[in-house]
Amino acid sequence: RQELSSLNPEYFSVTFGALGTTQEATLETVLDIQKNDTVAAAPHLSCIGSKKEIIITLLDQYKAANINRLVALRGDIPSGVRDIGDFHYANELVEFVKSQYNNHFHIEVAAYPEVHPESKNRLTDLQHFADKVSAGADGAITQYFYDADAYFKFVDATEKLGINIPIVPGIMPITNYTQLVRFSNMCGAKIPSWILKKLELYQDDLDSLSAFGLEVVTNLCQTLKAQGVDNFHFYSMNHSQPSLEIAKHL
């Protein structure tokens, strides 16, 4: 965190385990950041498996700690779970938080330039995003991507729907071939074939893979910046150095 603080980020986001798996650890980390860091904490809030009273108890603690930003997500449904709680979708969570706390919390939601893997099609996915905005979302962070055009097309499509909240691109550094492929398959992020071929070639040569990954992601960020993108959300995965290296070139 100390290294990343040198970039003067707006906030550190902290992930949230579904159905209590890491929720206590999330709370401890969030409160530690808020108390001891100069950068604000923005805890993820996953609604799958959560009851309204549990959400209120948690948010009351966040409010008491002067935390005023959240990342509201549906979360993944663990296999074998039938009771998904009081919320089915993230828009319901956003609406509930706004109804209970008015505008105390600035709420970020997820956006999917390459379509959520569970969505029927692009139009359905856009409507789900619009529902979150209508519920009161203040901003959005995208799933990571490596095709800048996917981001620009998504933003254009949202603007045609009258959506004007900030949509910050999510940036995933490339440092591990196996991990990246696994994550991408899980979340529906696309790895362009030309990138995938290089990664397959370099997968056991970590130095070459890291150098290639740095070049790819730096070029992506520079392309976005050239088109007016001012803010980036780095998925650091608890490893600061790759994000710091990319930021040096921006």
Domains and CATH numbers, the chain: 1-171+230-236 (3.20.20.220)
User: For the segment 19-54, what is each residue's pLDDT rounded down to a tens digit?
Assistant: 445 566 778 888 888 887 788 989 999 877 788 998
- Tell me the two tokens of residue 236: 């650091």
Residues in the chain: 250
When pLDDT is cut at 50, 70 and 90, the band that residue 86 belongs to is confident
Outline where DSSP puts E strands in the chain: 11-14, 40-46, 69-73, 106-111, 139-144, 167-171, 233-234
pLDDT of residue 31: 86
Spatial CA neighbour of 109 closest among 128, 122, 123: 128
pLDDT of residue 84: 67
User: For the segment 56-82, what is each residue's pLDDT rounded down to a tens digit?
Assistant: 999 999 999 999 999 999 876 655 556
**pTM for this entry:** 0.90
When pLDDT is cut at 50, 70 and 90, the band that residue 137 belongs to is very high
Residues 95-99 have a mean pLDDT of: 96
CB 118 within 8 A of CB 75: no
CB 43 within 8 A of CB 70: yes
- Tell me the two tokens of residue 11: 């906030």
User: For the segment 179-220, what is each residue's pLDDT rounded down to a tens digit?
Assistant: 999 999 988 899 999 999 999 999 889 999 999 999 999 999
User: For the segment 149-183, what is each residue's pLDDT rounded down to a tens digit?
Assistant: 999 999 999 999 999 999 999 999 999 999 999 99
pLDDT of residue 22: 54
3-state secondary structure labels for all residues of 12-51: EEECCCHHHCCHHHHHHHHHHHHHHCCCEEEEEEECCCEC
